[in-house]
Amino acid sequence: MPAPRQGHINHFYALLEKLANLVGPSRQLSTTHGRMEWPERGVYFFFENTEHRASAPYGPRVVRVGTHALKSGANTTIWNRLSQHRGNAKDKGGNHRGSIFRDIVGTALMERNNLSYSTWGRRSPASSDIRVAEKPMEQRVSDHIGQMSIICLDIPDEAGPDSLRGYIEQNAIALLSNFEKTAIDPPSKAWLGSYCDREKVRQSGLWNSNHVTESYDPDFLQVFEKLIDQMGGQKSEVTMQKDMKIVIQCAGSKNKGGFLKTGDGRPVVFVANPSLAPENADCIYAHPDGMRSDGKSWRQYLVEYNALKPHNPDGLYAAIDLYRSSAYADLKDTFGAEKVFILSAGWGLVRGDFLLPSYDITFSQSGKSTPYISRAINQDFMDFNMLDLTSRYALVYLGGKDYIPLFCDLTQSYAGERTVIFNAATPPKAPGCLHVKFDTTIRTNWHYECAHRLSKETSWLFNAPMKQGDNLLQQRQKLKSKPEQRAASKSDAYLDIGNVRGSKYKAIYDYLINLPASQDQATLSYSFVGELIGTKLPQSSYTHHQMFWANGGHYYAKFWMEAGFHVEGSHAGKAPEESWVRFQRK
């Protein structure tokens, strides 16, 4: 029978596993950003790739526990604190004077690597010259901490020294600390913390100094478990709305204006097949991925245009405001523009607050009578995907069956639960998704009525019966009871490299990450890339190769960016053997 502390530690790690099953696996810190879903307040737990438990059931070892807002009136969020530890995303700089974690990691790196920065750790404000001199060290710290992964426990209490967050942090540190105790799950011999100038860090086996010498209250584990259960328990109407994201099909009826314009002031009308459009001297017809005179695609230009907000010279609408139906406004008012996504036949999956130009493109069968606006399902578009694929929020689709293939394609790697609401006699084909039938006598644009109702209440969604009799909760239990079927239905959705999830393009990541450190460049032919990903590259990699290989603006750029490379150049010939892309190590 294990000793009490050993048993408590085993219980603690079992609770962390329970937390991970609820919120998803730990995230690599370097891949995180503020647009991800974070609890406003809570406790975070750090893991290092090289550190593992020495006792059964083994697994990763916690190396730091932390929280924030322990002073009354403090308004620091958990992301504020984590971003201080991570440092700057662009240049990997940071401020160790604002993060004791960065400070002590820096001292350990200096000791291990025989480096000297005489100003490191001085509490007084640093001059710009000192910050410039210290930047290489800050970057080393960012590299080391950025490789660590984190998981967060949501504790939405008030700021203050007596907070529940402080109680969990204090007791978790005291439990895990080996300071002047029989070591349980000691650090590895190569652990960087062994070089730290803080004895409490070296002896405790944690990147913590506070609370490592204290005793712990075993009852905190019961509180810890209760907090996890509350996160996964019955949710109020407000909480269900907060934990939900909506995807709604676009509409043909749009508000007036909102066109991008050419240099001579003519509006640009985006259509699926510009070559089939009628002649019109008052405007130009263009494909969203067509090229402008400056060599950029219209899609790339739109990303740059949005980066200038609030500057909006062409008077574009936010995507959620582009369409006339009041259903979009209702969803915006209830869920917020940032949690409502437009599934656009012209642009892809677009966040509600993204400025979107007017366009005339549709998947709907009715659009086939006008060939230049009708987009075929397999037509090559460089669709946006502005959805955070690591999110665990429930994702609900409202719209017609013609748009479901695009929804399934763009969300196949989504980590959270996906639900398709439908109005037909039988559920539509949507692999890996739950289905809910919305009964209404309306046939055309029935999803507007559904949006109005969803804006008023969400509880009906979880009890709405299907034609076959299963409600949403029953379907969920069936999926959970057959995890192998769920995994198969979502294809490679859980291939995980930090913040980058499944897709055939992960093979590019696998290839680049395994290149020798001495190799800074790799030029790959399209035929070789095709062999890597198991299929030939799409036509857009030829017709719009600059946009296809852009280092941003689409989800699969992460597969080379996260491997530490960027695309330096590309060439599209007539055949795969004549076409290439060049990756350069960053």
| Amino acid symbol at 300 | Q
> In the predicted model, is pLDDT for residue 19 greater than 50?
yes
pLDDT confidence of residue 503: 61
pLDDT confidence of residue 489: 31
Token code pair at residue 45: 């737990």
Residue indicated by tokens 């209702």: 330
- What is the spatial distance between Cα 171 and Cα 65, in angstroms, rounded to a whole number? 10
In contact, 65 and 148? CB cutoff 8 Å? no
- What is the spatial distance between Cα 234 and Cα 196, in angstroms, rounded to a whole number? 45
- What is the spatial distance between Cα 369 and Cα 367, in angstroms, rounded to a whole number? 5
Average pLDDT (290-318) is 88
Q: Where are the alpha helices (DSSP H) in 177-219?
A: 199-204
- Return the H-helix or E-strand segment holding 246: strand 244-249
pLDDT confidence of residue 100: 95
Task: Output 292 or 493, whichever has higher pLDDT.
Answer: 292
Lowest pLDDT segment from 131-140, 190-199, 228-237: 228-237
Radius of gyration (C-alpha) of the chain in whole angstroms = 26
Helix 4-23 and helix 220-232: axis angle, to 10°?
Answer: 10
Kindly report whether the global pTM for this prediction surpasses the value 0.75: no
HSE toward the beta carbon, residue 192, CA cutoff 13 A: 23
pLDDT confidence of residue 44: 98
pLDDT confidence of residue 157: 87
pLDDT confidence of residue 443: 79
Strand segments, DSSP code E, in 328-423 are 340-344, 348-351, 355-356, 384-385, 394-398, 418-422
Token code pair at residue 133: 């001199």
441's CB contacts (< 8 A; 6+ apart) are: none
Task: Give the confidence band of 365 by pLDDT, cuts at 50, 70, 90.
Answer: low
Q: Between the CA of residue 387 and those of 105, 127, 356, what are the distances in Å?
A: 34, 40, 16
Residue indicated by tokens 């996504």: 341
Q: Is the peptide bond before 267 cis (omega within 30 degrees of 0)?
A: no
Concatenating the DSSP letter of every residue in 423-475 gives -SSS----TT-EEEE---S--TTHHHHHHHHHHH-SHHHHHPPPTTS--HHHH
pLDDT confidence of residue 180: 95
pLDDT confidence of residue 417: 85
Task: Give the confidence band of 555 by pLDDT, cuts at 50, 70, 90.
Answer: low
Which long-range contacts (C-beta less than 8 Å, at least 24 apart) are formed by 563-566?
A: 563/508, 563/509, 563/512, 563/513, 564/512, 564/513, 565/512, 565/522
- What is the spatial distance between Cα 299 and Cα 261, in angstroms, rounded to a whole number? 14
Lowest pLDDT segment from 42-56, 477-491, 521-535: 477-491
Mean pLDDT of the chain: 85
Task: Give the confidence band of 450 by pLDDT, cuts at 50, 70, 90.
Answer: very high
pLDDT confidence of residue 554: 62
Token code pair at residue 472: 């949403």
> In the predicted model, is pLDDT for residue 350 greater than 50?
yes
In contact, 212 and 204? CB cutoff 8 Å? yes
| Amino acid symbol at 4 | P
Helix, strand, coil share of the chain (percent; to 5) = 40, 15, 45
Task: Output 293 or 138, whichever has higher pLDDT.
Answer: 138
- Return the H-helix or E-strand segment holding 570: strand 565-571
pLDDT confidence of residue 308: 86
Helix, coil or strand: residue 372: helix
